[in-house]
Amino acid sequence: MNKRRFFYSLPMILLLIVAVAGWFATDYLGNKARQEIIGESQASVLTLSTYVSSTFTTIEGAVKSLAGSPLIAPALMSKRDQDIEHANSALDRYNSALNTSVSYLMDADGMTVASSNRKDPDSFIGKSYRFRPYFQEATKGQVGKAGRYFALGITSGKRGFYASYQVQNRLGKVLGVIAMKNDLDDMGTFFRKYPFCFLISPDGIIFLSSKPAMVLKSFWPLDKTAQETLIASRQFGNKLFETVFLKKEIADGTEVTLEGKDYFVSRKVIDSDGWSIVLLTPTDHIRDYKWFGILATISVGLLIIFFSGIIYVTDRSKEAIRQSEESKRLLLHAVGDGIFGVDATGQVTFVNPAALRMLGFSVEEMLGQNAHALIHHSHKDGSNYPDEDCPMYASYTQATENHVTDEMLWRKDGSSFPVEYSSMPIINDGKVMGAVVTFRDITKRKQAEEALHRSEEKYRTIIENIEDGYFEVDLAGTFTFVNDAQCRNVGTPREQLLGKNNRAYTNEEEAKRLYQLFSEIYITGEPVKGFAFEYKKRDGTMAFTELSASLSRDAEGKPIGFRGISRDITERKQSEEKIRQMAYHDSLTGFPNRKLFSDRLGIALAQAQRNQKKVGVAMLDIDNFKGVNDTLGHAVGDLLLQATAERLSAALRKSDTLARIGGDEFVLILPDLKVIEDAIPVAQKIVDSFYKPFLIDTHQLVVTMSIGIAFYPNDGTDEDILLKNADIAMYQAKQAGRARYQLYKKGLTSNG
């Protein structure tokens, strides 16, 4: 009976054992899946943050190096064209070497004086970026630290990373700021390898995303003050930020629900300002593992099914690990920089193809080897490099992040090459598990810096004159040699310029002048200096150059062609035109000033005398303009004057001339009048046009216009008398109630 009871109770005991074992197994599998997800997520976000930080740090290092170049400070101190062109040349080289979007130099007031995009339609030259935080941070920040900033470009509207560094003179005075911008659109390619991967600001604004539709939206809600502050800064544009999905700020190691699915959050801060990379990893595996344990426990309760489930789960775990490793492998293959990892003892645990290619080892030759002893054992001079002095060693022993701009790594064949590298510790549960090292070969950069240094020392005189274009042509005028400056002047690459005739870059009239010039040099044998002419660039724009040329002869003294130096004087020509414009026009309204008014009035009077016509001279004054200035300020007053100028222009005939001679006073020339009454419709049209209010900023202003008109030859035959009588008539209009015109009548005075 007892045995029967035992056998009767045995299934219940077995079921109880299976239930208890199933409960423990389910909890174990869920925790295991969670740890795998956490490990995969943290490894991926670490790899991403290493790549992003390395890219930004490289740009910051380049900005710092460029700020110390001897070609930069002179451009800010002298602002001569020659020194600025030197600075432009340095900016071009660094911009090309680093493949950044634009490099530019600002003076202490934030005005851009040199830029690698100076020839683009949206050139930074002449634009002020004083309001940008990276400018303020560089000018006021500590020496030796580059400023960094993420924002939309004011001109391009593209997302970019800005690095800046102050430029000082020998006394430590800040002369200006060097800045580089790197567009981040291409970096989004790496983020799209993951379902939900973001680069976010401290306020939660999504700057980069694997989901393009989420860019420039808010990860979590922002209060009104934060919204207004960000919009005012123009860092991310001027639109309100739509919240993507979360109700509060997320933290590393937490879980969130998105679109009905649960995700594990890995958040890695990449700089001191609080910018971070966020990776959301699906937690489906946890649910799958738990359901598997529950179903296995309920279904049969047999140990064989339980162990079969363990085998199945183990296989799923291996596949998840394999997929994780494959994802990391693809990411490591896509990066051009060398990357390898070490454990807590310094042994190599993984290495990407770029690192193997640069070091000359195979994977088998590096895995399990001590990284320092294998590739970092000696200084450049061959002397021993102790482990304890190595920044990489400090990363996997002391958990420090390090960035080194100039050290040596050693190849398998015993040769060395200069590198810039970053080492970051791998930490799990507060314990240092190893480190990840990212490096890049800077041989070409070092060679360029050394060549530049040698060139500066050996050919300083030549460098100071190299901005002028130098060319050689044969007797037919075909280019046989040109320097880089000449190519820039013409806007044509060297390979396309050589073999072309100089006539291809100018119009027919200028080509004849050039032919006469070279003919004179050929006949007389005497050089010519300072010959200015207009030429056409490759893009079709016209420019001016100043040419000095001489005859080239062979060893026997026979003429073989011509050589010369050209200087682009387009800016000088444009400056002369601006000066002429400023000399004859009012700077606020663009109307002719008193000098140009006098010239045109003299012409109008001479024509009227010759053709027996009349000329009206009208004095116009804005009623109560002083009240606008006194109550709303001169800035609003200036805007009102500009709006007045636009309204007056719309009321005039094409032949009329309107000038501003001071304050709110305008003078109008009405030429070619047959009778005095011809001026009345124009005057009335002007008066009527001012009944419509002006909208200035947020102010709606109602002002009127009083006009006094004198006529040649009835009221005077010269400028002074006509202006005096028109002024008298204008004051009569004001005394009569304003907002009207008044024709001058003999006997009128300003007092009535």
Q: Is the pLDDT of residue 167 over 50?
A: yes
Digit-coded pLDDT (tens) for 689-743? 999 999 888 888 989 999 999 999 999 999 999 999 999 999 999 999 999 999 9
The tokens describing 338, both together, are 């060398």
Q: Is the pLDDT of residue 139 over 90?
A: no
Higher pLDDT, 542 or 577: 542
Fold of 468-570: Beta-Lactamase (3.30.450)
Q: Is the pLDDT of residue 382 over 70?
A: yes
Rounded CA gap, 50 and 488, in Å? 39
* DSSP per residue, 126-140: T-B-TTSHHHHHHHH
Nearest Cα neighbor of 113 from 121, 101, 100, 124 is 124
Confidence of residue 412 (pLDDT cuts 50, 70, 90): very high
Q: Is the pLDDT of residue 452 over 90?
A: no
- The class of domain 337-446 in CATH terms is alpha beta
Of 235-249, 288-302, 538-552, 630-644, the range with the highest mean pLDDT is 630-644
User: What is the pLDDT, as a whole number, of residue 464?
Assistant: 42
Q: Is the pLDDT of residue 461 over 60?
A: no
Peptide bond into 592 cis (omega under 30): no
Quote the distance between the C-alpha of residue 520 and its chain's center. Answer: 49
Nearest Cα neighbor of 637 from 646, 647, 627 is 627
Digit-coded pLDDT (tens) for 179-234? 998 887 777 777 777 778 888 888 888 878 878 777 888 877 888 887 778 777 77
Report which DSSP code applies to 477.
S
Rounded mean pLDDT, 619-641: 89
Burial profile 1-37: b = 16 or more Cβ within 10 angstroms, e = fewer: eeeeeeeeeeeeeeeeebeebbeebbeebbebbbebb
Return the beta strands (E) in 273-357 as ranges: 276-282, 338-343, 348-351
Equal fold, 337-446 vs 585-743: no
Q: Is the pLDDT of residue 322 over 80?
A: no
Lowest-pLDDT choice from 509-513, 610-614, 670-674 = 509-513
Cite the DSSP H helix spans in 367-472: 371-375, 391-398, 443-458, 460-465
Rounded mean pLDDT, 565-580: 73
Cβ 531 vs Cβ 517: under 8 Å: yes
Catalogue the long-range contacts made by 217-226 (C-beta closer than 8 Å, 24 or more residues apart): 217/241, 217/242, 217/243, 217/244, 218/242, 218/243, 218/244, 219/243, 219/244, 219/246, 219/249, 219/250, 219/278, 220/246, 220/247, 220/248, 220/249, 220/250, 221/246, 221/247, 221/248
Confidence of residue 681 (pLDDT cuts 50, 70, 90): very high
Q: Sketch the domain layout of the chain as residue ranges.
A: 68-183, 337-446, 468-570, 585-743
Digit-coded pLDDT (tens) for 90-113? 899 988 888 888 999 999 898 999
Confidence of residue 55 (pLDDT cuts 50, 70, 90): confident
Rounded mean pLDDT, 595-618: 92
Lowest-pLDDT choice from 148-157, 342-351, 354-363, 679-688 = 148-157
Per the listing, tokens 């003892």 go with 345
Rounded CA gap, 268 and 279, in Å? 9
Question: What does each C-alpha distance from 649 to 42, 328, 659, 689 come to in angstroms?
Answer: 67, 68, 11, 11
Rounded mean pLDDT, 242-263: 77
Digit-coded pLDDT (tens) for 19-51? 787 777 777 777 777 787 788 877 887 887 887
Digit-coded pLDDT (tens) for 644-670? 889 988 888 888 889 988 888 899 999
Higher pLDDT, 486 or 285: 486
Burial profile 493-512: b = 16 or more Cβ within 10 angstroms, e = fewer: eeeebeebebbebbeeebbe
User: What is the pLDDT, as a whole number, of residue 197?
Assistant: 85
The tokens describing 259, both together, are 């679109």
- The class of domain 68-183 in CATH terms is alpha beta
585-743: which CATH number, 2.130.10.10, 2.60.40.1120, 3.30.360.10, 3.30.70.270?
3.30.70.270
Q: Indicate whether this model's pTM tops 0.75.
A: no
Higher pLDDT, 83 or 54: 83
Rg, C-alpha atoms of the chain: 39
User: What is the pLDDT, as a whole number, of residue 111?
Assistant: 92
Per cent of the chain over pLDDT 90 is 24
